[in-house]
Amino acid sequence: MSLPPLVEPAAELTVDEVRRYSRHLIIPDVGMDGQKRLKNAKVLVVGAGGLGSPALMYLAAAGVGTLGVVEFDAVDESNLQRQIIHGQSDIGRSKAQSARDSIKEVNPYVNVVLHETRLDNDNVLDVFSGYDLIVDGTDNFATRYMVNDAAVILGKPYVWGSIFRFEGQVSVFWEKYGPQYRDLYPEPPPPGMVPSCAEGGVLGVLCASIGSIMVNEAIKLITGIGEPLLGRLMVYDALEMSYNTLKIRKDPNAEPITELIDYEAFCGAVSDEAAEAAADATISVTQLQDWLDARERGERDFTLVDVREPNEYEINRIPGSVLIPKGEFLTGEALEKLPQDKQVVLHCKSGVRSAEALAVAKGAGMSDAVHVGGGVAAWVSQIDPSQPDY
């Protein structure tokens, strides 16, 4: 459905702005009026990472007058494969500040407002209230539900995008005219069921494909042209090079959103079973190092099991570990491979997947099984920094 323009036009464009945006101005559907609306628009981008990077750069290039950036993280070398708003010299810098500098290089006429903070229930409504449109490029379910609920409470539209490996999704949510995110995902997936990009990976260029579509939707909303993806979910498969669009309908029986909730509890990092299993069965990487030394001396005997995927195991590993992916624990195959006469020590990248595998092991009667908090990431950071991290 077509929607009215989200933003009133600015009073004028300067001569320099006319020169800069001339290729927009000669498009009849955009023209001077549309470009003035872009100039007057205030858009908040949540995250300056994989999706936020291309979104911010193209929003800036398009002439959006005010760009807000919500970001609290620092640039890491592993970001550079896809987060093209940052460069080699930005490693270790604030992502928000790095993004600001790149935006200014793309378009000095853009006013950049930094929010170098983690969005939470205490600040999200205040941060969102100063903007016309939200662009959500976050990568975790807790923040996505919070962004949705805050946007619903404030009556604001937002563009949502998601990426994983070779697939991306984009939609527009605005309860005033159509569905919201909870109509697409009424409940979060079970903890541990959907790996993050840090665990499952993402094709770098996929970020550009999805991020640019998100900006396209933002421009349509701001200027009132075309038909936004409101009530539609666009699914892109980079391997098949296919675009499919699915309809999203409002749930007529959904409870109205009137307040924010505890989103971490709502989504859960791990299942209740995993949390219970890990409560008194978690060791640190320094403890593991002591155990490995003792095993080398013949004073301790245990089997160290890496529950990551084979491609992760090729990147780095804890010496002496054997690979049994978490999926084999969920199907029960792993139980046939585990020794019955030795203690089992499980680890993954960060401790989430190994906690889920630990719950299976304990459920199968391995009462002395433990897992390693922080996983191989903590091992590389604290014990063996000569190995690469990811």
- Determine the pLDDT at residue 65: 98
Question: Is pLDDT above 80 for 128?
Answer: yes
What's the average model confidence in pLDDT over 86-102? Answer: 98
Summarize pLDDT for 62-87 with one digit per residue, the tens: 999 999 999 999 999 999 999 999 99
Distance between CA atoms of 354 and 275, rounded to whole angstroms? 11
Question: Is pLDDT above 80 for 190?
Answer: no
Question: Is pLDDT above 70 for 193?
Answer: no
Q: What is the DSSP string of 13-35?
A: --HHHHHHTHHHHTSTTTHHHHH
CB-CB contact of 77 with 231 (8 Å): no
The pTM of the full predicted model, rounded to 2 decimals, is: 0.83
Distance between CA atoms of 254 and 250, rounded to whole angstroms? 8
- Among 202, 188, 352, smallest CA distance to 282 is for 352
Helix H or strand E segment including 350: none
Helix residue spans in 42-123 (DSSP H): 52-62, 95-106
Question: Is pLDDT above 80 for 112?
Answer: yes
Pick the range with the lowest mean pLDDT from 187-196, 315-324, 337-346, 373-382.
Answer: 187-196
- Determine the pLDDT at residue 191: 67
Question: Is pLDDT above 90 for 383?
Answer: yes
For the purposes of burial, counting CB atoms within 10 Å of the CB of 18, is it exposed (0-12), middle (13-18) or buried (19 or more)?
middle
* 197 is annotated as an active-site residue: yes
Place 271 in a pLDDT band, splitting at 50, 70 and 90: confident
Summarize pLDDT for 235-249 with one digit per residue, the tens: 999 999 999 999 999
Set 274, 348, 352, 380: catalytic member: 348
- Mean pLDDT value across the chain: 94
Distance between CA atoms of 269 and 355, rounded to whole angstroms? 10
Set 3, 43, 75, 197: catalytic member: 197
Q: Where are the beta strands (DSSP E) in the chain?
A: 42-46, 66-70, 111-115, 133-136, 158-164, 167-173, 232-237, 242-247, 282-283, 302-306, 321-323, 343-347, 370-372
Q: Write down all domains in the chain, each with its CATH number in brackets.
A: 15-267 (3.40.50.720), 272-382 (3.40.250.10)
Place 265 in a pLDDT band, splitting at 50, 70 and 90: confident
Kind of pairing, strands 343-347 and 111-115?
A: unpaired
What's the average model confidence in pLDDT over 157-172? Answer: 97
Place 192 in a pLDDT band, splitting at 50, 70 and 90: low
